[in-house]
Structure 1
Amino acid sequence: MSPVHSLKAVQKIPASLEQVWSFFSDPANLLAITPPFLNLHVTNEVFGHEAYAGQVITYTVKPLLGIPVFWMTEIKHVVPLQMFVDEQRKGPYKLWHHQHHFKAIDGGVEMTDLVHYRLPFSFLGDIVHGPIVKPKLQQIFSFRFQKVNELFGAWPGGQAMELEFS
């Protein structure tokens, strides 16, 4: 059985908790923070402008070689202004559990993403993790970091995103 990997990304955003929550909890904004190389397209109608428990969102993405992949996620938990969790129901991972945490701090918000994921194909998934999957996830979160800085402004002092894999 392949191991469960984890990713932790932390970004400080110079905006109010309400502004940051409003943006990130609106599924329509996912397109704005997803790199173009993924060719993300939402394929179902998304109701409302704030994530809610039980909400299902379907997409197509093209993560490798331009091959379209179906991805279905469900919002499992929502604590307004604090956190929400999305889980993959069907898609490219054997497991995808993504926690989005928001905390008011002096000067803005600290946003923390915790992702636990497992790759398919047992040992073959493990072989492609280092050279392919991990760098793609780094690209995705780096792109998002830059877009968030464009949308909300950079944190004073130019804080770089903290990104850890384990």
Structure 2
Amino acid sequence: MRLYTLHKKQVLPLSKQEAWEFFSDPGKLSSITPGDMKFNMRSPMSRTMHPGMIIHYDLKPLPAFPVQWVTEITHMIEERLFVDEQRFGPFRFWHHQHHFNDHPLGVEIEDIIHYVLPFGPLGTLAHRMLVEKRLEEIFEFRKQQLSQAFRS
């Protein structure tokens, strides 16, 4: 089993409260997800995130690879952090920390993702050939969308 880590930071000219309001609304996720992923929320969403919240959606992380993904919000400290963990989906393990840190120019959004792919050595090969690059593309798209939306 190989545990991978993806660590991203972005500063936005927002207060922590404004950043929290945006990121803690699961309905906003589609606006920062690449269109070719065909993101579709399956579960009805309340606008108030809480520990134990289950989020069910369809997406195509890779062409011709549709998946259903179910995540749970497992930890939350308002305006500081929340964690989503995959319950069902394409990864063997997925733990995504979202941190909101004070910054002189606004707020620093920090994502720390730990993940494991299924299929042992085939998963390692898939990571090198596809998954690592695709995750980088997804987070670059997100960075650009957020910069544009909040003009950072």
Scaled to the shorter chain, the TM-score interval is over 0.9
Aligned residue number for residue 52 of structure 2:
54
Structure 2 counterpart of 1:45, one-letter code: P
1:150-161 matched pairs, under 5 angstroms = 150-154=148-152
Q: Which runs of 4+ in 1 moved over 3 A?
A: none
Q: Which structure has more strand as a fraction of its residues?
A: 2
Deviation per residue, 1:31-86 (Å, 9 max, x gap): 10001111110111112x13110000001111223332110000001100000000
Q: TM-score, normalised by structure 2?
A: 0.97
- Which residue of 2 is the match for residue 78 of structure 1? 76
> 5+ unaligned residues in a row in structure 1: which ranges?
155-166
User: 2:130 is matched with which residue?
Assistant: 132
Instruction: Give the aligned length.
Output: 152
Residue 31 of structure 1 corresponds to: 30
CA distance in 2, matches of 1:104, 1:144: 20
- Partner residue, 1:164: none
Q: Which has the higher contact order (CA 8 A, sep 6+)?
A: 1
TM-score, normalised by the number of residues in structure 1: 0.89
Question: Percent of aligned positions with the same letter in both sequences?
Answer: 41
Tell me which residue corresponds to 1:45.
44
Where in structure 2 are there 5+ consecutive unaligned residues?
none
- The equivalences for 1:79-118 within 5 A come to 79-118=77-116
CA RMSD after TM alignment: 0.8
